[in-house]
Amino acid sequence: MIKIGIIGLPNVGKSTLFNAITNSSVEAENYPFATIDPNISIIEIKDKRVDFLADTYKSKIKKYNKIQFFDIAGLVKNAHKGEGLGNKFLNNIKEVDAIIHLIRGFSDEKIIHVEKNLNPLRDLKIINLELIFSDLEQTENWLNRNKKKSSSSPNNKEDQELVALMRKVKSLLEREVFLFEHFFTEQEEKILKGFNFLTLKPFFYVINISEEELINGLNNETKDFISNYLIKNNLNYEIISAKFEFEISKLDEDSKKEFLNEFSLKENGLNLITEKIFKIANMETFFTAGPKEVRAWAIKKGTFAPAAAGEIHSDIERGFIKAEVISYNDFKKTPDEKILKEKGLISLQGKDYIVKDGDICNFKFNV
């Protein structure tokens, strides 16, 4: 299951977006710090491929991929110094796979802006700085606890390299560099993943606009921010109206389509967000299918067959022998395993096979 954190200043629409994503009912009020404890919810990602496989195999059960969302309290400028509610809530998203940074792109005098006026770039920098300070505090604490490690074991190359790596991390953060922007070796990345640094995680920006701006176009401040900063710096982003998304989240599918057509929208923003999540988190989907159950499984791109099998059960990974693999595209054209086998479109793959998005896998194992 993929885990996603939602962050931002207070009153940018985080709880409204969370409500829309999860179709749940959490507090979304017009005052800062309405969210104290993190709101957590799990949603299924409806996948037409699962539906097709279930119909073809006449499966009794179908299971989609899932995303778990964590909506944490709004951060303010100098939260790391204790302003507002502080930045301790960032600990609630230390173990997420990716981060959504929600930015206010709408003007509304009725909804308080903690910084008094609309300025998306300033707001972005405030939150980014809090992420940096959170990682910096963690790094400095580690170095303080381990400051004797390199001097007490001068002949231990591993200790020396680890301390050097953490000093490099500290230097980058002090220069306000996000860790994902720096090139680390494969071994360094493996080590750093164990620290769950926030600035090392994949993330993207979601610009929350009003329903009026959805119809009539963006205000100048938001338009300039997108073109002169996000696009210019090749950053991942989506534009949505959280209020609009919340309203249509309560509709059935037919009514939802009518609503989207009325606003001349091809797709709702939440679908775009879930697609973006898979992309930035570097995730793919493979399937297991049969009369009993069809199920989607999320894996990192580049996952070898035994590790993919391990997502199902550790015993399957441990006793992995081979994988029977069918491409979903081939199966959709010819939904008959017997014919696919005759055409040579069912392959037997070993431990060095990298599972691809859309693969339908039947793992052979012996424990």
- Does 333 have pLDDT greater than 80? yes
Total-model pTM: 0.84
Nearest to 241, CA basis, from 116, 104, 70, 77 = 104
Strand order through the sheet with 61-63 = 61-63, 293-300, 283-288, 359-365, 320-327, 346-349
Q: How confident is the model at residue 152 (pLDDT cuts 50, 70, 90)?
A: low
Decide which of 317 and 216 is more confident.
Answer: 317
- Does 34 have pLDDT greater than 60? no
Rounded to an integer, what distance in angstroms lies between the CA atom of residue 42 and that of residue 173? 33
- Does 179 have pLDDT greater than 50? yes
| pLDDT given for residue 325 in this prediction | 97
For residues 244-265, average pLDDT: 83
| pLDDT given for residue 35 in this prediction | 52
Nearest to 178, CA basis, from 194, 160, 197 = 197
For residues 118-139, average pLDDT: 94
Residue with tokens 């014919």: 339
DSSP reduced 3-state for 304: strand
Decide which of 319 and 33 is more confident.
Answer: 319
Segment 55-71, tens digit of pLDDT: 999 999 999 999 888 88
What share of the chain has pLDDT > 70, as a percent? 92
| pLDDT given for residue 28 in this prediction | 46
For residues 21-49, average pLDDT: 69
